[in-house]
Amino acid sequence: MYALRLASCVYTSDRISGYFWHITDTHVDQNYSRTGNAQNMCHEDLNISESKANNVSDNGLYGNYLCDSPQYLINATVLSMKYIQSTPDFIIWTGDNLAHIEDLDVGWDITLESIRNTTLLLTSTFPNVPILPSIGNHDSFPPNILPTDNTTSNIYKGYLEKGRWKDLINESEWSTFVQ
């Protein structure tokens, strides 16, 4: 997960400067476990022996570099962003919210729920700050694929409605977004 605070300078006679945040690749994993197997994305092994279960290492509250981000890390990062720069001019959010999982049971509902959770976290932490979202390759189901047939507009409507991007995108731009 990356969160960057960038200073943007506009060169005018007054030399005005401003700030924005760029947040990307959060890859939130709702199945992250501190006692999970790091070789299995920090998920609990269902077939683990009792003797092995007693010898579990701690992946940490903020995660393990071998695994995707626990929600706690995302929350702490966004709160740190607010502490460092509470009133940025805008936030660029370039997606990749869903964990690197190959579970075919995930589907669009879980994908859009992950996006909605991050939308709500950002909008509640940075009220009245414009947030500019974009779709990443892990913001679709299956990952890396967005359909090109007649179902596309319904998928983009899902981002607006279930993902709560309607809170981020001007209503006058919704029809363009779903095309």
Q: Which CATH architecture has domain 21-29+73-178?
A: 4-Layer Sandwich (3.60)
Question: What does the pLDDT read at residue 77?
Answer: 97
- Band the pLDDT of 154: cuts 50, 70, 90: confident
- The band of 104, judged by pLDDT with boundaries at 50, 70 and 90, is low
* pLDDT at residue 156 tops 80: yes
- For residue 50, the model assigns a pLDDT of 47
DSSP characters over 74-100: HHHHHHHHHHH-SS-SEEEE----B-S
| Between 42 and 45, the higher pLDDT residue | 42
H-helix or E-strand spanning residue 5: strand 2-10
**Percentage of the chain exceeding pLDDT 70:** 83
What is the pTM for the complete model shown? 0.84
118-122, 138-142, 169-173, range with greatest mean pLDDT: 118-122
Q: Of 47-56, 87-96, 127-136, 167-176, which gets the smallest average pLDDT? A: 47-56
Residue 56 confidence (pLDDT): 61
Starting at the earlier edge strand, list the strands of the sheet with 2-10.
Answer: 2-10, 16-24, 90-93, 131-133
